[in-house]
Structure 1
Amino acid sequence: MSCNFHFLLILVFLISLHELPTISTTSSSIDLIQKTCKNTKYYDLCVSSLKSDSTSLKADTKGLATIMVKIGMVNATATNNFLSSHELVLNTTNNYTNNDLVLMKKLIKDCADKYALATNALQDSLQDLNNEVYDYAYMHVMAAADYPNVCHNGFKRNPRLDYPTQLAIREDGFKHICDVVLGILDALGW
């Protein structure tokens, strides 16, 4: 029985030695995430987004920027898909004329195109990050964040049509993600 007890103690000791670097790495990784996110406009969004990606625990600041860019790409692509489905037109509760509905469909298609362009701009920023050309990465993220403005302005030019609430929520979310990326890029000190 004493032999089993010693074996168990040694096993626990070896496991604890193996786990210490992981605990230390995780703790320092969380610290890097929190420190990096303090440089952004949306700290909570930054921290929760990065913590939701397991690769962030082993990432440096550049890696954290890459993760957030990818989250932005997923968001823009999802918005593009949402708009491409014409779900907004089907769910409209306003009493629009047929001409208004035709215009609404056109605006929604234009918005879908803008979100596709935003995805492309973020893809370009990923290449810039990989090449450590941070000023260009910053420029591409700023361009991506601006594409929803073009969409919103299309509705402003047509005051008969309400800017869909669901689209406004998605626009804000996407812009916040881009703002987080810009804050992380600032932390890179380019």
Structure 2
Amino acid sequence: MSKQRKMSPSSFLLLFLTIILCSFNQFVDANHLIQQTCKNCSKNDPNISYKFCTTSFQSDRRSQCAQNLEELGLLSIKITRHNVTNTCDYIKDLLKKKDKDPFIKECLNDCLDVYSDAITTFREAIRDYKAKRYEDCNFKLSSIIDASTTCEDGFKQKNDVTSPLTKRNKNVFQLSAIALSIVNMLNVDKLNDGTL
């Protein structure tokens, strides 16, 4: 019968501290990556707020595992997709309310159409992204930005109407712009590496 070795309290403490330090270092590295990426995104695109960018990534716990720009880029697309899906659900809830003005109802239906199409586009964009077809991914993400502006512009056709989706449309626009900015950075890196 073999004897099982017990871990001494000092060995246990050392192991525990090593795990904590490794986790902390990964957190610090991921945080630095987020800050640097958001700094570059906001510098390259006046539509991107540095604070919005960092807050968006930091609110998603998966960002703390991102080890490079490529992983952060994929996460940015997924965060945007989640936001668009959530917006579709919100629009459906608004459409269930019976007392909607016919014009607003028509605008909401148009928004639901463009955002529903965007969800399908995300599948293709992610496929292109993973295959490093950044120009194709860029094209698809640009169409998602267009969806948010198309939705918002629909409400502006009548002067006395306020869009119930303004904040959500702005968020989708900015999240898409962040993802697009990262894709463009990766594409430039790919061109510079001569891998095209």
The aligned amino acid for 2:69 is: T
The aligned amino acid for 2:92 is: S
Q: Which residue of 1 aligns with 2:193?
A: none
Distance 1:29 1:77 in 2: 26
Q: Which residue of 2 aligns with 1:151?
A: 151
Q: How far off its partner does 1:67 sit?
A: 1.3
Identity %: 23
Q: Quick check: 2:125–2:136 contact (8 Å CA) kept in 1?
A: yes
Q: Which residue of 1 aligns with 2:179?
A: 181
SS of the equivalent of 2:132 reads coil
User: Cα distance 1:145–1:15, how it changes in 2: closer, same or farther (>3 A)?
Assistant: same
- Unpaired runs of 5+ residues, structure 1, are 1-5, 93-100
User: Cα distance 1:20–1:139, how it changes in 2: closer, same or farther (>3 A)?
Assistant: same
Q: Which residue of 1 aligns with 2:50?
A: 43
Distance 1:181 1:65 in 2: 6
Q: Which residue of 2 aligns with 1:61?
A: 69
Q: How far off its partner does 1:129 sit?
A: 1.0
Distance 1:178 1:147 in 2: 10
Deviations 1:110-153 (A, max 9, x none): 11111112222222211111111111111111110101222233
Deviations 1:11-44 (A, max 9, x none): 2223223333222222212111111111222222
Q: Quick check: 2:121–2:140 contact (8 Å CA) kept in 1?
A: yes
SS of the equivalent of 2:8 reads helix
The correspondence of residues 1-190 of structure 1 with structure 2, limited to 5 A, is: 7-40=8-41, 41-59=48-66, 60-87=68-95, 90=98, 101-157=101-157, 159=158, 162-164=161-163, 166-188=164-186, 189=188, 190=190
The aligned amino acid for 2:71 is: G
Greater CA drift, 69-78 or 102-111 = 102-111
Q: Quick check: 1:104–1:161 contact (8 Å CA) kept in 2?
A: no
User: Cα distance 1:17–1:107, how it changes in 2: closer, same or farther (>3 A)?
Assistant: closer
RCO comparison, higher one (Cα < 8 Å, 6+) = 1
Distance 1:182 1:120 in 2: 17
Distance 2:14 2:94 in 1: 60
Alpha-carbon RMSD across the aligned residues, in angstroms, is 2.4
Ranges of 4+ aligned residues in structure 1 off by more than 6 Å: none
Q: How far off its partner does 1:174 sit?
A: 0.9
- Unpaired runs of 5+ residues, structure 2, are 1-6, 42-47, 191-196
TM-score, normalised relative to structure 1: 0.79
Q: How far off its partner does 1:7 sit?
A: 3.0
